[in-house]
Amino acid sequence: MFQLSTDHSDKSVIGVGAHRACYIHPEDPAKCIKVIYNSSGTALKEIKRELSYYRFLNSYLTDWSGITRYYGTVETNLGTGYVYDRIVDFDGKPSQTISERYKIEELKDNWKELDEIISKLKKYMWDNRIITTALRPHNVLCHRVSETEIIPVICDSMGVTTRIPVAQYCPWLCHRKQKKLFARFDGLPLIQKVYQYKNQQE
């Protein structure tokens, strides 16, 4: 059984969401453990949906570069832990989320970099039929694989919220749902600012 801290300010904690806290795996720094700390019907429902979606992805997905992979469960002092990839940059630093790396007031200097990440993210999702419950900057990591290359990696909110996830199995419905996800994502203030700079450039 792994012993994890109940203090979310502990250095082993690398993220805290509405229902789960994310820890560096005590025995494998290339992985992380997510544990439910706010146990509610919603939290358990989200876990069940996400694990079901990962089982579906395992049936066909060959390119895992754009999402964190799931490895199963472990027992911890805080309850069941769910093990995923921990995304770390080429220089050993933890990868930042889009919202951590890019700020609206600083976009004038690096909007082109973020624009490229957005394009890569959408292409990966489209080509591999990846669906998320929501697409938000804080759920996408900027994985720096070299000084000049960044690969976007979705790290949360995987799956389909409908009771019968038909969009998983039908490419046409999947792409229709993705278009809605992309439209909402494009409407976020940070992303809108990128497009403003892009339009000024053209």
Residue 132's closest CA among 39, 23, 33, 54? Answer: 54
- Assign residue 55 the CATH number of its domain: 3.30.200.20
pLDDT-based confidence at residue 124 (cuts at 50, 70, 90): very high
Q: Is 72 left (phi over 0), alpha (psi -120 to 50) or beta?
A: left
Domain coverage including residue 178 = 96-201
Chosen domain end from 61, 85, 109: 85
pLDDT digits (tens, 9 = 90+) for 106-119: 999 999 999 999 99
pTM > 0.85? yes
Chosen domain end from 51, 85, 119: 85
* 62 and 136 inside one domain: no
Residue 86 has pLDDT above 90, yes or no: yes
C-alpha gyration radius of the chain: 17
pLDDT digits (tens, 9 = 90+) for 151-201: 999 999 899 888 888 999 999 999 999 999 999 999 999 999 999 999 988
Under 8 Å between Cβ of 76 and 12: no
* 24 and 120 inside one domain: no
**C-alpha of 47 from chain center:** 14
Structural domain includes residue 189: yes
* 72 and 105 inside one domain: no
